[in-house]
Amino acid sequence: MDQFVLTEAVARPYHSNMSVKPDRTEAVVLVTCPDRPGIVARVTSSLDQVGANILDASQHTDVEGSMFLQRLHVSWPDESPEPESVHDVLTELGEELDLSWRIRWGHAPRHVAIFVSKMDHCLHDLLLLRRDGELNCRIPLVISNHPDLEETANQFNIPFHHVPVDSSGDPEAESRQLALLEAHDIDLVVLARYMRVLSPDFINRYQDRIINIHHSFLPAFAGGRPYHQAHRKGVKLIGATAHYATPELDEGPIIEQGVIRVSHRDSVQDMVRKGRDIERTVLARAVRWHLEDRIVVHGNRAVVFD
Amino acid sequence: MDQFVLTEAVARPYHSNMSVKPDRTEAVVLVTCPDRPGIVARVTSSLDQVGANILDASQHTDVEGSMFLQRLHVSWPDESPEPESVHDVLTELGEELDLSWRIRWGHAPRHVAIFVSKMDHCLHDLLLLRRDGELNCRIPLVISNHPDLEETANQFNIPFHHVPVDSSGDPEAESRQLALLEAHDIDLVVLARYMRVLSPDFINRYQDRIINIHHSFLPAFAGGRPYHQAHRKGVKLIGATAHYATPELDEGPIIEQGVIRVSHRDSVQDMVRKGRDIERTVLARAVRWHLEDRIVVHGNRAVVFD
Amino acid sequence: MDQFVLTEAVARPYHSNMSVKPDRTEAVVLVTCPDRPGIVARVTSSLDQVGANILDASQHTDVEGSMFLQRLHVSWPDESPEPESVHDVLTELGEELDLSWRIRWGHAPRHVAIFVSKMDHCLHDLLLLRRDGELNCRIPLVISNHPDLEETANQFNIPFHHVPVDSSGDPEAESRQLALLEAHDIDLVVLARYMRVLSPDFINRYQDRIINIHHSFLPAFAGGRPYHQAHRKGVKLIGATAHYATPELDEGPIIEQGVIRVSHRDSVQDMVRKGRDIERTVLARAVRWHLEDRIVVHGNRAVVFD
Amino acid sequence: MDQFVLTEAVARPYHSNMSVKPDRTEAVVLVTCPDRPGIVARVTSSLDQVGANILDASQHTDVEGSMFLQRLHVSWPDESPEPESVHDVLTELGEELDLSWRIRWGHAPRHVAIFVSKMDHCLHDLLLLRRDGELNCRIPLVISNHPDLEETANQFNIPFHHVPVDSSGDPEAESRQLALLEAHDIDLVVLARYMRVLSPDFINRYQDRIINIHHSFLPAFAGGRPYHQAHRKGVKLIGATAHYATPELDEGPIIEQGVIRVSHRDSVQDMVRKGRDIERTVLARAVRWHLEDRIVVHGNRAVVFD
């Protein structure tokens, strides 16, 4: 699976689900294509041609895969452009250079669903960041396999849906969950310490659009009870990993990781407590980068333009 | 294997191989015994009884194993004690409390052999620290399966022994290595990026006295070419792990770990370069703690009294 | 002012304000005295004498000041001791060794008042930790010079008091604040991004019992708008510092510090956002250590037995 | 002094002092100009016009100063360009956009002089990195006010010059130092724990070309004996700062900073030891970035394109 995943933009423009008129004076453009000389000049002059000013451009050339990836943050200083004309010029470029592209128009918040179980530290942090304007998204619902966190969601005026799940991959529960996601036109699912495993079918529907936080420094301690595993092993640092979910458990592209020191004095319970801070920080960072279109998945790796 | 490894002290007092008269006004005492009320008071009053002043005492109770571990740094402010009287009081305590103990008299430097292959960043660092008095040890020899680092060893006036090794566990080579270790009365073997695997027999002879630096954040990426593994996986932090060698490769008790950030921009070669700083720092710290008798191995975990 | 501050225990036993019966099977004892041989043995055997089992003992000798500091976590495995007998043995020891001591009986939560202004990330974190049992205290009230955070306090069922403050040190406002603190028998005041300066008189009443979070890596960028100062200076790391308040602004004993990387790409606003995580983590750690009696103030330094 | 310092390129092309023929198939171009729409497209198409392929382009817009800064790593995949034609197109661009530029042709190593006093950990690290090809430079000489490190320099076959210095700013000593720098056509001076202060006149001659390592987290603890200051203050983290020297001591643009944890247990001597690792790592990183033309000084801040 060594190819780029930018097909979403073609199939379904990011801004299609916006009830508000998107701000067309700013946009993020992501492009990928086989590497060759002259791409940067070609892309920038094409955008210049439709009046775009390039505020920031980052690129990465994957030497092994010979692929070129670029993120451009552009604005139109004078007047809003016609989206069609911008799309046309990108389409033309795409044909010429065998280039995939996607564009997101400014201030068009995506719809995010948060899945939780009983622990609320990650949920709380995401809701606070959203409230403070640090996460550019809407959160139309929280879904949980337990009723415990309803009050937390309500404190932030977010509808809470209790969907009991018999066991990981429970098809009836997943049907209910999927129906909720579709009803709210969800773009991104965040598993904020959700303790059930989703079925491959569910995950494939939201490829590269499900972010999970795993409470270990992956690939160490994949699977269940990672702090217990870490304690048994006697590691001197514990960590957390935010990654896109793939059908292979805890194997998806890593977006962000963090660690904190522990010692022999720390019990499993101490590790759980210390891990809290890392988990929520790492998850919040990954979600923010996704919402700012800073991530391109390439093979099994996540390129983050930070 | 859930028991304490303090037998070395009984079989062979740490200070027996010293040609210099040990400084008997300071010592480090390590004790372990089944946990029960009153141990701290019993140990400290026994030491008080033979004139010892306790400069520093740290202890740890392993709740699962119900074991008590203590490190005491003691001094005799007035005059040097008779070592026999100190040993007697500890032996008596040992019988009473089912307690294992070992004592190291102050400023009695241990003999350390450093094993290397071709990379010298860890070797350099250890030799500089030794020269500056930061590592309390003698380094009578450097052993390598390649001739490359002879000059580095010589710059620091350390004899260099080139012992070619056909493949990991080569019995003839190991015989030569062991003969060298015995000839120099070696207490500690440091594998400073030595790229051969030692045989279980070799390792068992120096149980808990071989420190290896592995260039990954174990248990992730055990085995060969860990930076290549880390690059392929797309992790966002790389690390290094200093651990005691056991017959199971890269599975021994972890003494210290460190990490450094990487990104998609870093090639394997960049990771190698960034890892250098972590490897040498983590290894140097582990060696220093060992030489200061701050480590007690308990089951498969290393308790570090830092 | 180079002397130890353990007088609080004498003037007012920590557990005096508890309406619940304290758990007398566990206690933390802090002692300080001029350094001399034999102290550890004397203290431990005195505690042994009244039936105490020493779970954990840490000590520190301040070489320059020739002072000895020790923290002992003790328990009575069989039955609760008479507090008076424990106090008697410590008092006797105090007279003999010129030793100051204080004791806190287990599970006797202190009363904490949190002062805030408009930002709630630190407040939120403290209230969540308190709710989850990570902070062993009661929080009878939140005091603010602004009405904004009333709802946050109420979500956690904490009474909120809006005390407007004309300018830093406003005597009328401080009278009202002090009356509230006294009415609730407050042991610790936490300034969780409270943006007014307290008068020296206020601070002296709660010496070593007011913890402030300053949003810079002190002593760099003391005073107002530290992130603006940091941005102007072009530092590559920003930080946060939890310290005891003293009459000299931002000069009190440092309890804990943390940092996070920034670059030229970060605006002041980005620094504010990144600093959030550090501020709340550093403050929460400092408050927890205080509540676990892990901190002894010595001169202008805070010794933390972690 | 809020303007860009790119004048060096005009006055004296970086590659003028190369005895080897520079590799003209790769170059780094740094440009700065007042911000306005369309710059990125203009610069990239101008370079495209002379056959350059853009491998990597980073830019930064300083919002306050309304300045645009860009670093471009370019190559000519087919054949070496005429440097004159590249310079012409950049000069033309410069006039049109009020743009300053400098270009460094690939693999043209700069000449670096290292100043030391008695400590060698930073010197050792730079010499090892240079030897291993991690620093693209020549080091024609080491200059010291003490004779101690002659042997270290000689081990790496670097000529060592002992220039005694009566006191900071000693004009005779500086004349000798400057003569040596000129004789070896030095581009960069690295103060690797050099314990004398250079005169403003000396510093101005090498503006933005003298890198100093200060052993504290600036702006905290500027001036002498920073570890003593840090110990007295009781900070919980110590640090190191690499910066360009300016006539105001320890006030120049900060290139890189690092920190490490300390506690009350650490004496000044422990801090010195722990600081070693940070100092050498931070300094080596700053020198590498300078040699890779990743740094642009803007006002009193160093923009690092990493």
- Over residues A130-177, the pLDDT tens digits come to 999 999 999 999 999 999 999 999 999 999 999 999 988 899 999 999
Pair (D150, D88) in one structural domain: no
Percentage, residues of chain D above pLDDT 70? 92
Dig out the tokens for D198 from the structure.
């250079």
Q: At A39, which amino acid appears?
A: I
Residue A160's DSSP bridge partners are A142
CB B106 within 8 A of CB B23: yes
Query: Which chain D residues have a beta carbon less than 8 Å from that of C221?
Result: 219
Dig out the tokens for D292 from the structure.
């890779």
Q: Give me the residues of D, 153-212, that contact B with CB < 8 A.
A: 155
What is the tens place of the pLDDT at every residue in D41-72?
899 999 999 999 888 889 888 877 789 999 99
- 């930018």: which residue's tokens? A6
Can you give the pLDDT at residue C25? 87
User: What mean pLDDT is reported for chain C?
Assistant: 89
Can you give the pLDDT at residue B1? 27
| C-alpha closest to that of C53 among C72, C33, C34 | C72
Is residue B11 included in any domain, yes or no?
Answer: no
Q: At C205, which amino acid appears?
A: R
Residue D101's DSSP bridge partners are D31
Dig out the tokens for A217 from the structure.
């420094």
Domain CATH for D53: 3.30.70.260
- Rounded Cα distance between A209 and D155, Å, is 56
CB atoms within 10 A of CB D123: 27
- Using pLDDT thresholds of 50, 70 and 90, give the confidence band for residue C16: very low
- 């194997």: which residue's tokens? A251
Per-residue pLDDT, averaged over D151-160, amounts to 95
Instruction: Work out the burial of residue C230: count CB atoms within 10 Å of its CB; fewer than 13 is exposed, 13-18 middle, 19 or more buried.
Output: buried
Q: ω into residue C253 within 30 of 0, thus cis?
A: no
Query: Which chain D residues have a beta carbon less than 8 Å from that of C255?
Result: 236
Is the pLDDT assigned to residue A33 strictly greater than 50?
Answer: yes
Phi, psi (5° rounding) for residue C90? -70, -35
The nearest CA of chain C is from the CA of D301 a distance in Å of 5
Pair (A116, A240) in one structural domain: yes
C-D C-beta contacts closer than 8 Å? 75
Pair (B262, B286) in one structural domain: yes
Is residue C18 included in any domain, yes or no?
Answer: no
C64 touches chain D (CB under 8 A): no
Can you give the pLDDT at residue B208? 96
The nearest CA of chain B is from the CA of D208 a distance in Å of 26
- Is the sign of the CA dihedral B225, B229, B232, B237 positive or negative? negative
DSSP helix/strand/coil, B215 = coil
Q: ω into residue A219 within 30 of 0, thus cis?
A: yes
- Rounded Cα distance between A108 and A28, Å, is 11
Instruction: Work out the burial of residue A185: count CB atoms within 10 Å of its CB; fewer than 13 is exposed, 13-18 middle, 19 or more buried.
Output: middle
Instruction: Work out the burial of residue B269: count CB atoms within 10 Å of its CB; fewer than 13 is exposed, 13-18 middle, 19 or more buried.
Output: exposed
Query: Which chain B residues have a beta carbon less than 8 Å from that of D157?
Result: none
Task: State yes or no: is D208 an active-site residue.
Answer: no
Domain CATH for C271: 3.40.50.170
Is residue B78 included in any domain, yes or no?
Answer: yes
Is residue D10 included in any domain, yes or no?
Answer: no
Pair (B215, B257) in one structural domain: yes
Can you give the pLDDT at residue C235? 96
Count of the separate structural domains present in chain D: 2
Can you give the pLDDT at residue D64? 74
The nearest CA of chain A is from the CA of C185 a distance in Å of 29
Is A273 in contact with C134 (Cβ distance < 8 A)?
A: yes
- Using pLDDT thresholds of 50, 70 and 90, give the confidence band for residue C22: low
Query: Which chain A residues have a beta carbon less than 8 Å from that of D45?
Result: 41, 44-45
HSE, CB side, 13 Å, CA atoms: give it for residue A285: 24
Pair (D219, D98) in one structural domain: no
Can you give the pLDDT at residue C66? 86
**Which one from D120, D187, D250, D293 is the annotated catalytic residue?**
D250
DSSP helix/strand/coil, C11 = helix
Dig out the tokens for B85 from the structure.
């009287």
Is the pLDDT assigned to residue C17 strictly greater than 60?
Answer: no
Instruction: Out of C37, C45, C53, name the one closest to residue B77 (CB).
Output: C37
- Rounded Cα distance between A46 and A103, Å, is 14
- Rounded Cα distance between D218 and D215, Å, is 9
CB B128 within 8 A of CB D121: yes
**Which one from B250, B270, B277, B293 is the annotated catalytic residue?**
B250
Q: What contacts 24+ positions apart, CB below 8 Å, involve A46-52?
A: A46/A89, A46/A90, A46/A92, A46/A93, A47/A72, A47/A74, A47/A86, A47/A89, A47/D41, A48/D38, A48/D41, A48/D42, A49/A89, A50/A81, A50/A85, A50/A86, A50/A89, A51/A76, A51/A78, A51/A81, A52/A27, A52/A76, A52/A81, A52/A86
CB atoms within 10 A of CB C274: 18
Helix, strand, coil shares, percent, chain B, to 5: 35, 30, 35
Q: At D88, which amino acid appears?
A: D
**Which one from A125, A170, A187, A250 is the annotated catalytic residue?**
A250
ipTM above 0.85, yes or no: yes
User: What mean pLDDT is reported for chain D?
Assistant: 89
What is the tens place of the pLDDT at every residue in A284-294?
999 999 999 99
Is residue C117 included in any domain, yes or no?
Answer: yes
Is the pLDDT assigned to residue C203 strictly greater than 90?
Answer: yes
Comparing A175-184, B61-70, C168-177, which segment has the lowest mean pLDDT?
Answer: B61-70
What is the tens place of the pLDDT at every residue in D30-42?
999 998 888 998 9
DSSP helix/strand/coil, C303 = strand
Is residue A72 included in any domain, yes or no?
Answer: yes
Pair (A195, A100) in one structural domain: no
Can you give the pLDDT at residue B2? 31
Is the pLDDT assigned to residue D20 strictly greater than 70?
Answer: no
Domain that holds residue B137: 110-304
HEC string for chain A = CCCECCHHHHHCCHHHHCCCCCEEEEEEEEEEEECCCCHHHHHHHHHHHCCCEEEEEEEEEECCCCEEEEEEEEECCCCCCCHHHHHHHHHHHHHHHCCEEEEEEECCCEEEEEEECCCCHHHHHHHHHHHCCCCCEEEEEEEECCCCCHHHHHHCCCCEEECCCCCCCCHHHHHHHHHHHHHCCCCEEEECCCCCCCCHHHHHHCCCCEEEEECCCCCCCCCCCHHHHHHHHCCCEEEEEEEECCCCCCCCCEEEEEEEECCCCCCHHHHHHHHHHHHHHHHHHHHHHHHCCCEEEECCEEEECC
Can you give the pLDDT at residue D167? 86
- Using pLDDT thresholds of 50, 70 and 90, give the confidence band for residue C163: very high
Is the pLDDT assigned to residue C148 strictly greater than 80?
Answer: yes
Q: CA dist D75 to A294, C176, C212, Å?
A: 26, 71, 54
Can you give the pLDDT at residue A22? 53
Is residue B20 included in any domain, yes or no?
Answer: no
Comparing A208-217, C56-65, D121-130, D211-220, which segment has the lowest mean pLDDT?
Answer: C56-65
Can you give the pLDDT at residue C306? 82
Q: At A273, which amino acid appears?
A: R
pTM attached to this predicted model: 0.91
Pair (D75, D125) in one structural domain: no
CB D46 within 8 A of CB D90: yes
Strands D188-191 and D110-116: parallel
What is the tens place of the pLDDT at every residue in A50-104?
999 888 888 888 877 789 999 999 999 878 888 899 999 999 999 999 999 999 9
Phi, psi (5° rounding) for residue C144? -140, 150
Strands D188-191 and A295-298: unpaired
DSSP E strands, chain B: 23-34, 53-62, 67-75, 100-106, 110-116, 137-144, 160-162, 188-191, 210-214, 237-244, 254-261, 295-298, 301-304
Q: Which chains touch C (3 or more CB pairs under 8 A)?
A: A, B, D
Residue B116's DSSP bridge partners are B144
The one-digit pLDDT tens for each residue of chain B (306 residues) are 233 334 333 322 333 333 334 567 899 999 999 988 889 989 999 999 999 988 888 888 887 778 999 999 999 987 888 889 999 999 999 999 999 999 998 867 899 999 999 999 999 999 999 999 999 999 999 999 999 999 999 999 999 999 999 988 899 999 999 999 999 999 999 999 999 999 999 999 999 999 999 999 999 999 999 999 999 999 999 999 999 999 998 999 999 999 999 999 899 999 999 999 999 999 999 999 999 999 999 889 999 998
Is residue B54 included in any domain, yes or no?
Answer: yes
- Rounded Cα distance between A235 and B255, Å, is 8
Can you give the pLDDT at residue D22? 52
Is D235 in contact with C220 (Cβ distance < 8 A)?
A: no
D221 touches chain C (CB under 8 A): yes
If you average pLDDT over each of B50-64, C3-17, D218-232, which comes out highest? Answer: D218-232
- Is the sign of the CA dihedral B215, B218, B223, B227 positive or negative? negative
Contacts of B258 (CB under 8 A, 6+ apart): A237, B239, B240, B278, B281, B282
Can you give the pLDDT at residue A57? 87
Per-residue pLDDT, averaged over C35-61, amounts to 89
Is the pLDDT assigned to residue A37 strictly greater than 80?
Answer: yes
Pair (A215, A136) in one structural domain: yes
Can you give the pLDDT at residue A80? 83
Pair (D173, D276) in one structural domain: yes
Contacts of C160 (CB under 8 A, 6+ apart): C141, C142, C144, C149, C150, C153, C154
Range B109-119 burial, b when 16+ CB lie within 10 A, else e = bbbbbbbbbeb
Per-residue pLDDT, averaged over D105-115, amounts to 90
Is the pLDDT assigned to residue C178 strictly greater than 90?
Answer: yes
Q: Give me the residues of B, 279-298, that contact D with CB < 8 A.
A: 281
Instruction: Work out the burial of residue A284: count CB atoms within 10 Å of its CB; fewer than 13 is exposed, 13-18 middle, 19 or more buried.
Output: buried
Percentage, residues of chain A above pLDDT 90? 75
Strands D301-304 and D295-298: antiparallel
| Cα C205–chain centre separation | 14
Domain boundary among D105, D122, D138: D105
- 């087919």: which residue's tokens? D78
Instruction: Out of D218, D234, D259, name the one closest to residue C302 (CB).
Output: D234
Pair (D220, D84) in one structural domain: no
Query: Which chain C residues have a beta carbon less than 8 Å from that of D255?
Result: 236
Pair (D140, D275) in one structural domain: yes
Domain boundary among B54, B79, B105: B105
CB A162 within 8 A of CB A144: yes
Can you give the length of chain A in residues? 306
Instruction: Work out the burial of residue D79: count CB atoms within 10 Å of its CB; fewer than 13 is exposed, 13-18 middle, 19 or more buried.
Output: exposed
Which among A31, A40, A49, A66 is the top mutation candidate for probing chain D, defined by the most D β-carbons within 10 Å of its own β-carbon? Answer: A40
Residue of A nearest to C152 (CA): A155
CB C244 within 8 A of CB C254: no
Pair (B146, B280) in one structural domain: yes
Dig out the tokens for D190 from the structure.
């690295």
Domain boundary among C74, C105, C136: C105
